[in-house]
Structure 1
Amino acid sequence: MSRLNGKTVFISGASRGIGRAIALACAKQGANLIITGKSDEPHPKLSGTIHTVAEEVRQAGGQALAVKMDVRKESQVKEAFDAAVAQFGGIDVLVNNASAISLISAEQTKLTRYDLMHSINVRGSLACSKAAIPYLKQSDIGHIITLSPPLNLEPHWLGPHIPYTMTKYGMTLLTLGLAEELREHGVSASCLWPQTTIATAAIEFALDPALMKRSRTPEIMADAAMAILACDDLSLSGQAHIDEALLRAQGQTDFEQYRVDPDAPLMRDLFLDE
């Protein structure tokens, strides 16, 4: 029986993309899913809402609760966790997936744009983690997974878009710190980042639609998240994992299944040099 069977997984930003893929992977293992995000009504350009994903979760074998939540608003975060605990009795896993991106220089970045990225990426991850911690301490599989990169301080990653970089590195620092804070309580905290760009709305609308063909599907990130959640000790805690490397370490060798276009060269993701 899966370690996730009957366990409750809370995911921020789960209405599409990587959050949705992780939700469905957890559902196939019998988990209860808390599907949160701002998208509770159909968007003219973006497919999926928290409600459509919740229904997909149920069809995949899990139970689901869809909760509209803006991670920038502490009251909504609290209400979402209260609703989750009322429905399922606790929280076993938190996935900090909600994120905002803007790849422009410090000179070009409006402070309001930076405030948005920081409030979603760093503060939002802290708000969700803080709300989850009391329940994770009570769980026998307590995990936090944050979608953020390794801390690469090479100048070529610091120069082009440092406002965004600071917020993503902030998510990583938070998670690595939580790994140490929660170690004595048996709670694991680790980061997960893709080797290549992932075919999501962020790529299509915020970066370059042409990159979609050079990307992998969100399912590789979901499979890597499942590898983390399958770990029954703290050996993966306090690390920033790369999806392909983690899966290779688990014995997987075929990654062609994740390619959007088998003939297009893959695009390495941000912050990775090798």
Structure 2
Amino acid sequence: MTETGMSGSLKGKSGSLKGKVAFVAGASRGIGRTVALALAEAGAAVAVAARSEEEGRLPGTIHAVADRIVASGGRALAVPCDVTVEKSVETAVAATAEEFGGIDILIANAGVLWLGPVESTPLKRWQLCLDVNLTGVFLVTKAVIPYVRERDGGSLVAVTTGGVALTDRGANAYWVSKAAVERLYLGLAADLRSDNIAVNCLAPSRVVLTEGWRAGGGGRDIPPEMVEPPEAMARAAVLLAGQNASGITGTVQRSESLA
């Protein structure tokens, strides 16, 4: 399955994002970093949002990503943002709108990975997945919608996972949290159609070996043919970022069907 929802057509507005403003949550590393750089290359001003202001256990900071965009001639703002804290999200979104004059695009990418079996999952890990992967998407989406509505159209994209459909491979907190995000966004597409706002989910077609995957993937060995470069997600995200409700909306897309 590559797509589901109200509108699966791959035609619609895409291409240059010049003049657009994108808020990318979880942009200090991995898929979010690659997407932020691609959006900037397509012409968007980019808010690079995450908690990572300084190097920690995993490499990557919001300042390093924003600096790279600026050094390449783009416009970027590093905004500290903890997606589990409503005030932090509201402050980061407001700072973005103030700096760039509004917001047209949301990429809700912030996430944590936990693939352990349910019976051995600590409650704190279960709650962390729901707090970051589901409530975090809810909070950034809720905060961004009024700004996108003011622009008379725009695009909201939540990064999910192909694991949602793999029910024959068991259950874990990560897949459950991402499945809930897909339901949230599929319903939201109907709510925001009259505002000319496209709402879609985007999942990798295969495994993207991000820093987070390497740290939390449970030591799984992934065959080379099952590995996807993060650039495939970036190309697909740029295409979806260029949509409004007259194009692709209400779908769950796989990266390599769009890239």
TM range (shorter): 0.7 to 0.9
Q: Does the alignment pair 1:40 with 2:53? A: yes
TM-score (norm 1): 0.83
CA distance in 2, matches of 1:166, 1:71: 18
Structure 1, gaps ≥5 residues long: 248-274
1:186-209 residue CA offsets vs partner (Å, 9 max, x unmatched): 000000011110120122111137
Paired position in structure 1 for 2:4: none
Tell me the CA shift for residue 78 of structure 1. Answer: 0.7
Q: Percent identity?
A: 35
Q: Deviation string for 1:140-190 (max 9, x for gaps)?
A: 441001001469556414x242x2222110111111111111011100000
Identify the residue that residue 258 of structure 1 maps to in structure 2: none
Distance 1:155 1:81, change over 3 A: closer
1:172 aligns to 2:172 (yes or no): no
- RMSD of aligned C-alpha atoms? 2.1
What is the aligned partner in structure 2 of residue 92 from structure 1?
Answer: 104
1:211 corresponds in structure 2 to: 222
Does 2:19 match 1:18?
Answer: no
**Cα distance, 1:90 vs. partner?**
0.8
Q: 1:212 to 1:134 in 2, by over 3 A?
A: farther
Matched, 1:191 2:201: yes
Q: Which runs of 5+ in 2 are unaligned?
A: 1-13
Aligned to 1:252: none
Distance 1:196 1:115 in 2: 26
What is the aligned counterpart of 1:78 among 57, 68, 90? 90
Structure 1 CA distance, aligned partners of 2:62 and 2:18? Answer: 22
Q: Deviations over 1:9-40 (max 9, x none)?
A: 00111001111111111111221111111110
Partner of residue 11, structure 2: none
Aligned 8 A contact 1:190 1:240 in 2: yes
Which residue does 1:5 correspond to in 2? 18
Asked if 2 retains the 8 angstrom alpha-carbon contact of 1:203 and 1:211, the reply is no
Worse-superposed segment, 216-225 or 125-134? 216-225
Name the TM-score, length of structure 2 as normaliser: 0.87
